[in-house]
Structure 1
Amino acid sequence: MLNIEQLHRLDLTLTELRDWLERSALPLWSTAGVEPTTGGFHERIGQDGRPMADDDRRSRVQPRQIYCFSVAHQRGLAGDWDTIVRNGLTYFEKTFLRHDGLYGALADAQGVLIRPEYDLYNQAFALFSFSQIAASFPESRMRMEEKATELLRLLTTHHKHPLAGFEHADPPGVPLCSNPHMHLFEAALAWETLSERPDAWTALADEIAHLALTKFIDPGSGGLREFFDREWNPHPSDKGRVMEPGHQFEWSWLLAQWAALRSDNEAMAKAERLFEIGVDYGMSRDGKVAMMSLYDDFSVHDPIARMWPQTEWLKAATRLALVGTAERQAHYIGSAIKAADAFREFLKTPVSGLWFDKRRPNGTLIDEPAPASTFYHILCAIYEAGANLAKLRARN
């Protein structure tokens, strides 16, 4: 049974995190994080609050920031989010859109595309940002759905893997990767709820879920792998042994959503197992934070802890508390409290609204600029956890 004291403690922490997000992080990243001339988004902000303006810019970061500021608009927060999103999308299209309708990988600080190659990861985040623009700005829904539908058509026509899923790169090669499929899964689930013609998105979500359940997840241990050969078997190198705790949590969160939508008990059980692998084997020596990566025997591969796995831990814990069995709810809420505490470890910065990206095994944080790529994880986790907790409270 749920413990009211636990719920109250988690509620207080999530309120604190939401206040930090809305009073510090969003104002900072929507000003210092935006290049005023082009409307593009900076890759990093230094711990002094100033942007690293000379950084090259990854394609994936631009739609992630568009997603964040679209959510701010949807929630009615004070700010000119319409202009920020519109200018950001214009910059993304002008800078990264290729003649074939796909998006390149990297531009320099002046907006020149210096790495135009295809990467599935970048297309997935374009699709995801289009879904949030559609949700936040209803007048843009039709245009965003047309763009998303065309991008999915291009991926299916030119980059479909012959067995299942999609090619990660062009030309096709190895290793094949689960990670971009995770974000494509995220985009498909978002569009399934938004689209007036959801069949293609439902089919895409189902295909990726099946690929995860049959290939990405090891049938013996229940852990999710990162890298594969051409037949979607574990890559024969050490890469094929890598399992990231953050991705156990992130896939757990997504599969729990999909399993609830499809009433799939097997998928729910696998989502719960992924979560348990993360908390049982993926924690730092002091037990406070989730580490970067394990081998497939659950021994440590990379003991550094990054910020983003803590956010995925929080999302998965609260989602499983919401959709899992009543007997397990207290367990998941207790874990969510630990995840929120881990989250806060990385926010002890000199300028509020930033974060440290990495924590050493001895518990010290690495003093380096905050990466914009993490903002999507942070914002999504705070609002997802808050929504899940509110539903739990209403139910109990």
Structure 2
Amino acid sequence: MDTARLQSHQTWIREELDRCVNFWLKNGMDPVNGGVYTCLDREGKIFSTDKSVWMQGRCAWTFAYLCHLYGVREEWLAASKSCLDFMEAHCINREAGNRMYFTVTGEGNPLRQRRYCFSEGFYAIANAEYYGVTGETVCLGRARAAYDLIWELNNGLIKDPTGLGPKTIPETRSGRALANPMIYLNITSVLRRVDPEQEALYTQRAAQCVDEIFRYHFKPEMKCTLESVGPNGEFRGDVTEGRVVNPGHDIECSWFLMEDANRRGDRELHKKAQQVFDQAIEAGWDHEYGGLLYFIDCLGRPPEAYEHDMKLWWPHDEILIASLMLYRDTGEEKYLDWFEKTLDYCKSHFSDPEFGEWYGYLRRDGKPTEPPCKGSTFKGPFHLPRMLSMCDQMLGELLEKGKG
């Protein structure tokens, strides 16, 4: 183990984390209405005042998580609470069973409701993490209620109170989405950490999520994990939706699974998670320009999404987390190679030391889309600070091990 090399990576990551956090504290936080603006250009100037509800929850979680890892700082805790309070006041549709909106105006007026439950998921982890730091039991109650609501909706135990119904006409086509069990598995890991009283419930639900991922979506014979399958895991190769592979999503899923495997002490599950990573990065890495492609077709046919060959920031964050976790857990040098190869790409293409934060969207050749942006409805203070803080911790573990 080259400890000097690992130390240099940790130094850069810590500096980048400071730049990232300061970018959002300086440019994103709304001192008037509360919450966070995330549609920011390269310099941090706001280009849309509409607010993403996902990002309110993600930002609240991020700053509480930083307090959990590094100790409470007043500006971090205040940022987290600002987003929590904004969500509570403006982002919950009380007339529709406490389902949450997808976007609201800067002042908090509702704009858009969507059928899936990710706003509720990020609200759950935000409240749980804040409870873990502050002990405010009202936040734990909110987290538990949202966690149960998602479970009931995803498993068809209640009818969606928004009345939106499924995305496609179920008599014609229904199916399963990988996002549901994998994101719920991650939500479960956060709640378990701060709420040991419900350990049995979290263990049960995590096990079901893992089972669904491998029973229905993981296709080792096809060397991929599919985003969308039939109700019983059927491969729908005659339509583009059925052939979609999102390599970054699969890689993110792999480290969620590794965390659960490590918690259980389950070596076989860890090996299967490792296989998810191996298949995804081999299929998705762009050998001509570098970086990870956004979408691929598992049969090599034309992907439907226009952005399929772009390079987005978050899949690269997931590679860095998963590859370093694999290196830490297995000691296999190929995973350190993937970590360093991806880190080099990110330093050269995503990082912006002049203004802080990462470009969100690159063309296939690695150049930022013009005009470049640092945030959007889907990009805020979440994937990057999560990756930087987690990699900082894992590098610290490896360096401690190297001393021994």
SS in 2 for 1:44: coil
Q: Is the 8 A contact 2:38 2:375 kept in 1?
A: yes
**Secondary structure class of the residue paired with 1:114:** strand
Is 2:372 aligned against 1:366?
A: no
1:188-227 alignment, distance < 5 Å: 188-195=188-195, 196-227=197-228
TM-score by length of 2: 0.86
Is the 1:281–1:298 contact (alpha carbons within 8 Å) kept by the matching residues of 2? Answer: no
**Alignment partner, residue 357 of structure 2:** 354
Please give the residue correspondences for 1:29-48 in structure 2 after superposition, counting only pairs within 5 Å: 29-48=24-43
Matching residue of 1:13: 9
Aligned residue in 2 for 1:345 = 348
* Equivalent residue, structure 2, for 1:317: 323
* C-alpha deviation, 1:91, in angstroms: 0.5
Per the alignment, residue 251 of structure 1 pairs with 253
How much does 1:134 deviate? 2.3
Q: What is the one-letter code of the residue matched to 2:107?
A: Q
Partner in structure 1 of residue 116 of structure 2: 119
Looking at structure 2, the residues matched to 293 and 28 of structure 1 have their Cα atoms a distance apart, in angstroms, of 29
Once residues 311 and 280 of structure 1 are traced to their aligned partners in structure 2, the CA distance between those partners, rounded to angstroms, is 16
Are residue 101 (structure 1) and residue 80 (structure 2) matched?
no
Secondary structure at 2:111 match in 1: strand
- Distance of 2:260 and 2:28 partners within structure 1: 34
Q: Take 2:32 and 2:10, find their aligned partners in 1: how far apart are those partners?
A: 35
* Contact in 1 for aligned 2:129/2:194 (Cα 8 Å): no
Map 1:269-288 → 2, pairs under 5 A: 269-286=271-288, 288=290
Q: CA deviation at 1:378?
A: 0.7
Q: 2:83 — aligned with what?
A: 88
- Displacement of 1:238 in angstroms is 0.8
Percent identity over paired residues: 17
- 1:183 matched to 2:183? The reply is yes
Secondary structure of the 2:80 match is: helix
Q: CA deviation at 1:307?
A: 0.8
Number of aligned residues: 382
Matched AA of 2:92 = L
- Identify the match of residue 303 of structure 1 among 298, 306, 309: 309
Q: Deviations over 1:145-193 (max 9, x none)?
A: 211221223334444247xxx9999413445421243222111012122
Q: Distance in 2 between matches of 1:242 and 1:122?
A: 24
**Cα distance change, pair 374–275 in 1 and its aligned pair in 2 (3 A):** farther
**CA displacement 1:323-380 (0-9 Å, x = unmatched):** 23x4x2x221121111222222344437421321122222322232211625311111
Verify the 8 A CA contact 2:50 2:103 in the aligned structure 1: yes
Q: 1:370/1:159 Cα in 2 relative to 1: closer, same or farther (>3 Å)? A: same
SS of 2:30's partner is coil
Q: 1:343 to 1:231 in 2, by over 3 A?
A: same
Q: Is the CA contact (8 Å cut-off) linking 1:308 and 1:374 kept in structure 2?
A: no
Alignment CA distance shift 1:198-1:300 (3 Å): farther
Q: Distance in 2 between matches of 1:85 and 1:347?
A: 26
Match of 2:172 in 1: none
Contact 1:120–1:167, Cα closer than 8 Å, also in 2: no
2 CA distance for matches of 1:202 and 1:354?
Answer: 36
Q: 5+ unaligned residues in a row in structure 1: which ranges?
A: none
**Partner deviation per Cα, 1:94-147 (whole Å, 9 max, x = no partner):** 11112122212221233111223442222221122222212332x22x322211
> Quick one: structure 1 residues 90 and 78, their matched pair in 2 at CA, closer, same or farther if it must change by over 3 Å?
closer
Describe how 1:329-344 pairs up with structure 2 within 5 A: 330-344=333-347
Shift of 1:69: 1.6
Structure 2 unmatched ranges of 5 or more: 169-174
Structure 2 distance, partners of 1:234, 1:96, is 37
CA distance in 2, matches of 1:375, 1:169: 31
In structure 2, the CA distance between the partners of 1:393 and 1:298, relative to structure 1 (3 Å rule), is farther
Structure 1-normalised TM-score?
A: 0.88
Off by >6 Å, runs of 4+ in structure 1? 166-169
RMSD: 2.6
Please name the residue that 1:61 is paired with: 55
